Structure 1
């Protein structure tokens, strides 16, 4: 079965193409990547292909509650990195033995101010209507992942993917 997509949905295919053909479909992105790797190993022109996810959904995994301690700790860590960077830049222009205290001072001041900024941000967030006191990670997941290709190499891609399917069974 050959599935050719033409028109506005073709924007999801390889850049600049008006149409593309589905050469293979896989239930997970990792399987589609492995199949694409197989095409590359067979010296297939992979520049004429793309992996297209269909029926996308957003999954948000809640990792925990956002607490005052977490806000302060995250702010301190971010501020420490920024302070260390500034301290290292200042230490480049500081003579001799004063260079190390400049870098460490920047790290310490950055951690203190970052922690304060994290606490203020948390407090302001609690004042906002519809606030969220959770930490989460969002992921896009598709129901299936299609390997699509230009029509001129579609049959070659399908044949290679059929052989790949026989091998991985």
Structure 2
């Protein structure tokens, strides 16, 4: 039995190739997004539109050099927050405990986090001594439209220029 959900490739959840005719091409995703927004503002049926990133690539931007100080400092800060949280929970559920559970949680969180970070950083043996952020980008972004409205979409985007 075939349902409308399974028959429609855009709602089936499975990867499908884009369809439609190219009506515009842009250097950035922001420009393509602005173009589709322009179409929507002009009552264009944007459900017929697809933005396709052509020639995708992974770009890794290096943010900082990793040092022992930076690694252990970040681990201490992260461990302090977790330890403080555990200490507060212990204080809430232990009547008359005072500040001792908070202090124990804080020290244990900082200490254990620094130990694990040191072991992890030492295991890399200097092979990745930097912090970076990766993102998926494309060389260009094409705006595709189903053939039934492609010419109208092309004209609306041409008026945007």
How is 1:33-72 mapped onto 2 (pairs within 5 angstroms)?
33-72=33-72
Deviations for 1:9-37, whole angstroms, at most 9, x for unmatched residues?
A: x9243xxxxx3222211011111121122
- Residue-pair matches, total: 147
> Quick one: structure 1 residues 109 and 48, their matched pair in 2 at CA, closer, same or farther if it must change by over 3 Å?
farther
Once the two structures are TM-superposed, the CA of residue 160 in structure 1 deviates from its matched residue by 1.7
- TM-score (normalizing by structure 1): 0.71
Deviations for 1:44-81, whole angstroms, at most 9, x for unmatched residues?
A: 33333222111122322222321111111222233233
Unaligned runs of 5+ in 2: 1-14
- 1 or 2, which has the higher helix percentage? 1
Distance across 2 between alignment mates of 1:74 and 1:20: 49
> Quick one: structure 1 residues 142 and 97, their matched pair in 2 at CA, closer, same or farther if it must change by over 3 Å?
same
Distance across 1 between alignment mates of 2:48 and 2:88: 47
Distance across 2 between alignment mates of 1:38 and 1:104: 57
Question: 2:142 maps to which residue?
Answer: 146
- TM-score (normalizing by structure 2): 0.73
Equivalent in 129, 134, 141 of residue 130 of structure 2:
134
> Quick one: structure 1 residues 152 and 136, their matched pair in 2 at CA, closer, same or farther if it must change by over 3 Å?
same
Say if 2:87 is the partner of 1:82: no
Distance across 1 between alignment mates of 2:46 and 2:84: 44
